[in-house]
Homo-oligomer: A and B are copies of this chain.
Amino acid sequence: MNLIPEPTKERLLTLMRLLEKNSPAAGRAAGKTAVTSAELEALTGWSSQTIRKDISCLGGCLGDESRGSPGKLGSNAGYTAENLVPLIKRALGLDHPRRFCIAGLGRLGSAYLNVRFFEAGEFELCAGFDTNVNRVEILKSPAPLYPAYKMEEVIRRFSIEIALLCVPGDAAQAVGERLAAAGIRGILNFAPVALNLPPELAVRNVNVADELRALAMKINV
């Protein structure tokens, strides 16, 4: 699946989200009516040629059992939201549960303890960590919470892959390094600092303060 180009992956991700949430096709009876690439063009703004090419990549990423009906993927008869979403999920590696943890259980981190991301099975919260033992003991959580010194041990024991980094800015780099050393492969960084970590570790930044500034800049008179 590494053969799918990055831009195609990004488009497939967006397409999947649109099909799941906003598409007229998703509202159809049982979703079984075909969606044509022209309809997907109207939905996404990308050319139907691009969409057909992106979707044709899915063919190359499927296991043998799916290769039996290659005609369906390339045909003009269209796709159905019902068959397209699972195909995309599989090609992007989103079809098996990914384990994540939350490092830092302050206001934001503890808020995310109880947010459910997507339907059951896509992401699984396995642990939360904080240096404040009191927080660890009193917070309500669907997953077990641990004092920060147990972080490495718990991440390894449960093969946790992803971490939401919600610690204060001045602790973020050090905690990021501990997560990396413990085997975490992707970090969603909420701390307002740029992390300097090994390149094989994927990092995405969510910085609400920056977003607020960008918004303020946009609405200037």
Interface residues of chain A, those whose CB is within 8 Å of chain B, are: 1-2, 9-10, 13, 17, 21-22, 92-94, 98, 100, 107-108, 110-112, 114-115, 117-118, 122-123, 161-162, 169, 185-188, 192-194, 202, 204, 206, 208-221
Contacts and interface: CB of A to CB of B under 8 A. Distances in A.
A216 B118 contact: no
Interface of chain A: mostly helix, strand, loop or mixed: mixed
B211 A188 contact: yes
A123 B193 CA distance: 19
A213 B94 contact: yes
Nearest to A12: B217
From A161, A187, A218, name the one whose CB has the most chain B CB atoms within 10 angstroms.
Answer: A218
B204 A219 contact: no
A185 B219 contact: yes
Contacts of A94: 213, 216-217
Contacts of A122: 213
A22 B93 contact: no
Contacts of A114: 107
B22 A194 contact: yes
A98 B193 CA distance: 23
A123 B217 contact: no
A109 to B, nearest CB: 9
A115 B108 contact: yes
Contact of A216 (B162, B169, B212): B162
Contact of A215 (B1, B112, B204): B204
B211 A118 contact: no
A212 B22 contact: no
A217 B22 CA distance: 21
Nearest to A1: B220
Contacts of A93: 216-217, 220-221
